[in-house]
Structure 1
Amino acid sequence: MTESKIGQWVVIGEGARRKVLSDAPDLMIVEFAFDKGAVGAMHNHPHIQGTYVASGRFAFTMDDETFEIGPGDSMVIPKMVMHGCTALESGSLIDSFTPRRDDFL
């Protein structure tokens, strides 16, 4: 396990931050917290991502499709698929990445 940034909040945009909860070379768990109106910019990466909505509501875009997700919803984002979100309410997402996102450490 890499200890350098485990448990530390990192600002990723206005009203948005992330915290690595745990990691191993093949898996990483990260909490993302968003204030109402904060944006997770569209992006892609070579990792498979699982997202679970712990709280709040989000307008989530994957490729060209936008949909609303809320508490208890989850999804899998395939590698290299463009995705992003806007917080409709303050809330948090718990994301898993495989393999680990070394750029977060």
Structure 2
Amino acid sequence: MFLKSYPEVDADPGIRRQVLSQNEALMVVAFRFQEAGAEGKLHSHLHVQSTYVESGRFRFSVGGEAFEVGTGDSFVIPSGATHGCVCLEPGTLIDTFSPRRDDFL
């Protein structure tokens, strides 16, 4: 099956998550931050992650380094790196994970 609809779920307070597409090797996920101050808490995982800022503004911490990103920015988070973010202006992050995040299914 090439097209499948996945439900939007609560990820953290003020954040909704929706799997957009996936297979064993790759997963694309939208994180919709509904309010400034919503926080993606610090965490790490074995997956390599690429983040694209579809809209909004965010302050990220990756491996102890802090930086701000806005619409159109993108970056890669290495496997095992501790990371998280705080929403500065509501918006959407499009995250790609390799391999797939089975915990999101």
TM range (shorter): over 0.9
> Counterparts of 1:59 and 1:100 in 2: how far apart (Å)?
25
Shift of 1:52: 0.1
Shift of 1:64: 1.1
Secondary structure class of the residue paired with 2:103: helix
> Counterparts of 2:9 and 2:41 in 1: how far apart (Å)?
15
**Structural mapping, 1:41-56, within 5 Å:** 41-56=41-56
Secondary structure class of the residue paired with 2:19: strand
Secondary structure class of the residue paired with 1:81: coil
Show the counterpart of 1:71. Answer: 71
Q: Which runs of 5+ in 2 are unaligned?
A: none
Secondary structure class of the residue paired with 1:88: strand
Shift of 1:12: 1.2
The size of the alignment, in residue pairs, is: 103
> Counterparts of 1:20 and 1:64 in 2: how far apart (Å)?
28
Shift of 1:95: 0.5
Show the counterpart of 2:13. Answer: 14
**Structural mapping, 1:18-97, within 5 Å:** 18-34=17-33, 35-97=35-97
Letter in 2 for 1:25: E
> Counterparts of 1:72 and 1:52 in 2: how far apart (Å)?
7
Identity %: 53
> CA offsets, 1:49-76, max 9 Å, x none?
0000000000000011111000000000
> Counterparts of 2:16 and 2:47 in 1: how far apart (Å)?
20
Moved over 2 A (4+): none
